[in-house]
Amino acid sequence: MNYTASQELIDILLRHGFIENTHIDWPDHIELLKERGEYDSGSIKRRFTKGRIVIMFDYINLYISYKRQQPFLREAYLPFYTLKTILFFLTRNSYDKEYILKHGSFNSFDKYVAETRNEESLMNHIQKNKFKMIKNNYQNFVFDV
């Protein structure tokens, strides 16, 4: 499933602790939203943050960045697995976050978890235990949509 710049995605983000701060970048869009009473991705921009993750709805395009770096996602849709990884990432401690960023980032961590089974034999005991713990937590991570 893919998510687009929509009220559905906004509701998911807000349920998971994101804060809307559209007023920082686009105060006129907040006024437009208040006037219309509903969100229209074709004419209104939005901005949400949690921790160091910023998700911007630039009309129909989504831009997601971490630590004020260049956006790692610039698409018209957000894949389910990327949203899952972002929400999972935000629940983890700093060591787990570092591991996720080192091994695939947000766009490809799901693929890393699925394909690393073949590489486990090359890992030392500590690496293998860390991988298994994060893999198990990631695969069992469920979020409200």
pLDDT per position as a tens digit, 28-43: 999 999 999 889 999 9
pLDDT per position as a tens digit, 72-102: 888 899 999 999 999 999 999 999 998 888 8
| Residue 145: inside a domain | no
| Residue 107: inside a domain | yes
| Residue 10: inside a domain | yes
Residue environment code for 31-52, b if the CB has 16+ CB neighbours within 10 A, otherwise e: eebeeeeebebeebbbbbbbee
Alpha-carbon gap, residue 24 to 137, rounded angstroms = 35
31/118: higher pLDDT: 31
Which domain covers residue 110, as residue numbers?
Answer: 2-139
Count the domains in the chain. Answer: 1
pLDDT of 120 above 80: no
Q: pTM here?
A: 0.87
